[in-house]
Amino acid sequence: MAPLEITASRADPALLDLPWEQPLEDWPDEILAALPRGISRHVVRFARVSGRVLALKEIDHTLARREYDMLKVLGRLGIPAVTPFAVISGRTTPQGDPLDAVLITRHLQFSLPYRAVFSQVSRQDTAHRLLDALAVLLVRLHLEGFYWGDVSLSNTLFRRDAGAFAAYIVDVETGNLHEQLSDGQRSYDLDLARTNIIGELMDLQAGDMIDPESDPVEVGDDLVRRYNDLWDALTAREQFSTDDRWRVSARIEKLNKLGFDVGELEITTDLDGTSLSIRPKVVDAGHHARRLMRLTGIDAQENQARRLLNDLDHYRAATEQQAEEEEFVAHEWLQRQYEPVVRAIPRGMRSKLEPPEFFHEVLEHKWFLSEERGADVSLDDTVRDYILTVLVHRPDEKSLVTTETSALPIIES
């Protein structure tokens, strides 16, 4: 048998114990992790190695190495993507027949392929919430000059994000990084996304996984609208009188609300100096997540961070500490509000939701309980009720142990 070639930043010797002489589809169940898989043109399996879950995709060596390198680049750019772990090549069967290489990525904890999302979440607007997340991801990729070439729900993983979803790119086999994308490249990528998503939603309808009365074409068109609205908000030039210079700050504030920071703003005046023209040159996603991390050290998705920061602001007002330093109040909120709530999660249920998502859902549950009872319900009482009536029925999303999405319970989200 030919020697294996392992390309990895930090090679794990335990990889050598896996049966690389067998095609992935023939690997025994005892070494595989049963996690929900999306639709792929390649054989994909999950395996537990040294206490971590890895995703393995059988693919041509050249493509595997190219995708491994591209995922590393996207990671350095701060794009939400799966993390590359290794490439295994030089595989042969015991008879000496060559086998494709295997690209290994880290399993993205608490993530779901879109079919698992639809199996769990029965709300009517699930498709639109997924497409909101995908539109944001596609805009971020295009801002960095990345042409995806195979945009689809199948090539994306989703994580809960305070009632919404955050999208992560999984498959970059056809992607290319450019200094800047042309409008034609962006339009082609967007049109491909629309076509693929309409087909995927039609497939879900055929499987009775979404409302048969819903219109996949309308949903696909909605993705295009959401993408174009966000792209214009981030990149369009705005012109106004020099007397309206406050609109510069207003434009930045609007982008902050969308979750983007402005790193550089281009400001020009006309020849007689009576009007200004502004256009963001450098925008960076994750405004609220960075602020929350700076104040509290909590690593959260963007919408989760927005929700937690709102609760921090509410706490600051309720405790009449508006004049105090923000960092001081944040430290107190962390100790008195956030940490007691997440520590209350029973050890056996900690793989059901990420702590920031759990805190968000507790806040939502507090509002519902208070409405129902006509009086303010304490956070302690809310946590106990949520654990007993809601959390106990949730599946473990850190590593869902099933490949049959039809077996997953339906959860209202």
Residue 413 has pLDDT above 70, yes or no: no
Which one is predicted more confidently, 259 or 167? Answer: 167
pLDDT at 89: 93
Per DSSP, the residues of 193-250 read: HHHHHHHHHHHHHHTTSS-TTS-HHHHHHHHHHHHHHHHHHHH--EEEEGGGTHHHHH
Cβ–Cβ under 8 Å, residues 102 and 91? yes
Residue 359 has pLDDT above 90, yes or no: yes
Residue 404 has pLDDT above 60, yes or no: no
Which one is predicted more confidently, 270 or 230? Answer: 230
Average pLDDT over residues 337-347: 93
Distance CA 133, CA 166 (A): 5
Residue 126 has pLDDT above 70, yes or no: yes
Q: What is the pLDDT of residues 49-91, one digit of tens each?
A: 888 889 999 999 999 999 999 999 999 999 999 999 999 999 9
Residue 206 has pLDDT above 60, yes or no: yes
Q: What is the pLDDT of residues 92-121, one digit of tens each?
A: 998 989 999 999 999 888 888 888 888 766
Residue 239 has pLDDT above 90, yes or no: no
Percent of the chain with pLDDT over 70: 92
Token readout for 17 is 């114990």
Average pLDDT over residues 160-170: 89
Distance CA 130, CA 393 (A): 23
Average pLDDT over residues 283-312: 90
